[in-house]
Structure 1
Amino acid sequence: MKISVIIPVYNAEKYVSKAVESALQLSDVYEVILVEDQSPDNALQVCHELVQKDERVKLFQHPDLGNHGAGASRNLGIEKATGEFIAFLDADDYFLPNRFTAEKELFKDPKTDGVFNAIGTEYLTEKGKEEFMTNINDDELLTVNYAAEGNEVFRGLLGLTPRVFGSFFTLDALTVRKNSLETKKLRFNEALRLHQDSDFIIKLAHQCYLKSGIIDLPVAMRGMHDDNRITKIIKYSPQYNQRQFLFWNSLYEWSTTLSLEKDAAQHIYLQKKAFELSKKKGVSKTIGLLAAVFKNPYILKTKYRFTYSHA
């Protein structure tokens, strides 16, 4: 396998060396592509040093040298990648030695576009652990509940399977054929500063054929520390609701261009509508909610909690 590992780098001078080294130790890694995103710390200098240490490490920045977010950085990495396969790694996370074990077998099947696995959680600071437990508090092993492939992965991610599919798998645990991304014209939504990874994964699961790999053991570790943006957002707060609306609205706009199964299209629309209503207040919110419930009572089963006092 010739795998290009794409690492967006922002404010990660303390962690990026370990991330890069964890990828370089794997024989199937053909290149490590660092995309530095105008970091406020000394990350750019660390990246230059990593390039000098190993010829497989390549460094890029955006044409204007500005900050464009993780989605745009990953898109640039995809454009620059020359490997047959693409893998992603956050700069504060790292791969384990079994990272591509399942891929070596599963990609022998030409219909397989992508493989996903489980990842573990490592607390790099006590404050990071506290914020994680308060605002996220999902399982330390981020995985799915059972092996799945094809359309069941897409439906499972939307919560539409008879069995509960489980937690979201992450980009750190995903490997995909570059040709599949090109053929399907799949890229990250650069307008999303958060959740662009979840948005990408759901779209990928619908448009490509994904298979589960190692789902009972971690193949990578995500690092939780003081600067994790995602752990600082309190669930069902106005900021959380706004981020969720942007995420579901992105999926909704995408879904209107496709012929999705009716229940999948409805689910995406109702999630978008629920978080759209969350931005309203007082009488207008009450009227909007009553109208939405009258039109489709299933909106009350969305991820948004209409009873949250600050919504």
Structure 2
Amino acid sequence: MNNLRTDKYKKKKKHRVLKIISAILLVIILVCAGLLGYAYWKTSATFDQIHKPVEGKQNTSVTLNGSTPFSVLLLGVDEREGDRGRSDTMIAATVNGTTNKIQMLSIPRDTQTEIVGHNSVDKINAAYAYGGVKMAEDTASNFLNDIPFNYYIKINMEGFKDLVDAVGGITVYNDKDGLELGDKTFNKGEITLDGDDALAYVRIRKTDVEGDFGRQKRQQQVISAIADKLMSTGLIWHFNDVLNAVGDNIETDFTMNDVTKIAKNYAGALGNVENLQVSGTGGKQSDGIWYYVVSDDERARLHDELAKNLGIN
């Protein structure tokens, strides 16, 4: 009789434990579902805020299925109240999911070129000031002998520091001693940067023996470091900060669905970035203005490099 009562007690206790475990699992599932729902809502709301199709541009989006290459024009712009500003940074990027390779070509802002739609020859960074993203895209495409741009991303450089802070800072390797801007000095070696430091680091030109080319390298370096942080599992702890920084400082014609497809179908390319440079000569021209002059042969070479990764002629 006692054994029977003991067995019943054990079964009852076991049943109660299972109920407690089930209740705990249910709470965890509900909490996770709530977080995922919030994350989806927050991300979706952010993309609604930053999604800005280019007015007057034909639809150039592609099927982001992993086998179709695509191109992006990245613009870093110094915007101030009442002033559109110029594109301080212009990077042509191509992404190939078959070869798993990303190319990043920084076009020097002082590059002399035809400003498409403005009937003038000027520094390439003036295109954005004259006609916004559309004119910047058309001008960069023309400079690269008709390399098309499927998408664009524009970031306000003043807000660039917000994104670095949002991911908890970044670590990069500085290959030069004595880089200075204002009261900030960066010496050779591995350095950890907060937002203010990163913004200064990518703006240095005068104290870099490579001038604008050194600045371009650092821009690409910092962009890659931010991307690495964004892809890390620790992003969940910075989720709100990242989306707030993105919402305040970035515009793009990518949709949330596009970015989801890229993360899924082109992940293999993210770790294989080829940085390209524009070769030319700098000096004052007949109008007394300093330009970076690029030959037709060099433009043809750059076209061929980018076209190969895009699978076009």
Instruction: Please give the range of the TM-score, normalised by the shorter of the 2 chains.
Output: under 0.3
TM-score normalized with structure 2 length: 0.23
Considering Cα pairs closer than 8 Å and 6+ residues apart, tell me whether 1 or 2 has the greater RCO. Answer: 2
More helix by share: 2
